A = this chain, B = another copy of it.
């Protein structure tokens, strides 16, 4: 029930047709009696810098969920960029502080991390391999570093991207061991595919599956299908896996905390969501 006191969470991206957040957050807000609403706003790239500034000047603006194509641009538009967003080089949440400043954070990687932890697997002190140093791979690497991995392997067919991610990680986590240039999963406790491989039928697997240890936890970011060929192959090796959609739901409690709302579990959000 929207009223004149309802706090506004602008869901900024373009196009809006595939947005899912309103159908997840709003039923939760309604059930909990939280006077806030997520509203899709189809903002084009050329209007975004001005619109972001003005939407946060609204007296009832509370926060923004940021999606394609604005995640990277946002890093340059906020007043305070938190470390995870800085390492990721992308921002998917913005909140207004009491003094009016805008703080940006990135939760894609946090969703991955929470999913792993919820499955009873440790992250602190473990070795993780992140395949793909693009937006989502960088976000996952940043959140794994925050969660305390002892070593991060970074691999991208574009070696410069992996090196740049390694350098950004080093700035915030100087004692973290970073290894580059190999997609060999042997010896890693956690391996995640954050490359686009698996989005198209016939894509090769992102690594040599024969080198994957059954004790390794294997994650995926591709959401095109629940069990991608990579996850199927990992399962066949005996690995425990995490599907792409887990990352989506697991990050929402983190968003709720960031925005200062009462939070809940990913399962609860899944149960109240009206995704149709």
Contacts and interface: CB of A to CB of B under 8 A. Distances in A.
Contact of A51 (B3, B54, B60): B54
A42 to B, nearest CB: 3
B18 A40 contact: no
Contacts of A41: 8, 58, 60
A78 to B, nearest CB: 18
Interface string A15-30: 1111110110010000
Nearest to A275: B3
Nearest to A18: B4
26 contacts: A1-B23, A1-B26, A2-B26, A2-B37, A2-B39, A3-B19, A4-B15, A4-B17, A4-B20, A4-B22, A5-B16, A8-B41, A14-B59, A16-B59, A16-B60, A39-B39, A42-B58, A43-B58, A43-B59, A44-B59, A47-B57, A50-B50, A50-B54, A51-B54, A51-B57, A51-B58
Given A2-B39, A6-B22, A42-B58, 16 more contacts: A1-B23, A1-B26, A2-B23, A2-B37, A3-B19, A3-B23, A4-B18, A8-B39, A15-B59, A39-B39, A41-B60, A42-B60, A43-B57, A43-B59, A47-B57, A50-B54
A270 interface: no
A54 B54 contact: yes
Interface residues of A, number: 36
A274 interface: yes
Given A16-B60, A58-B43, A38 B2 contact: yes
A47 B51 CA distance: 11
**9 nearest A-B residue pairs (beta carbon):** A42-B59, A4-B19, A4-B16, A2-B22, A42-B60, A51-B54, A4-B17, A42-B58, A41-B58
Most B CB contacts (10 A, CB to CB) among A3, A18, A37, A274 go to A3
Interface string A226-266: 00000000000000000000000000000000000000000
Nearest to A16: B4
Contacts of A5: 16-17
A1 to B, nearest CB: 7
A261 B135 CA distance: 41
Contacts of A1: 23, 26, 274
A19 B18 CA distance: 30
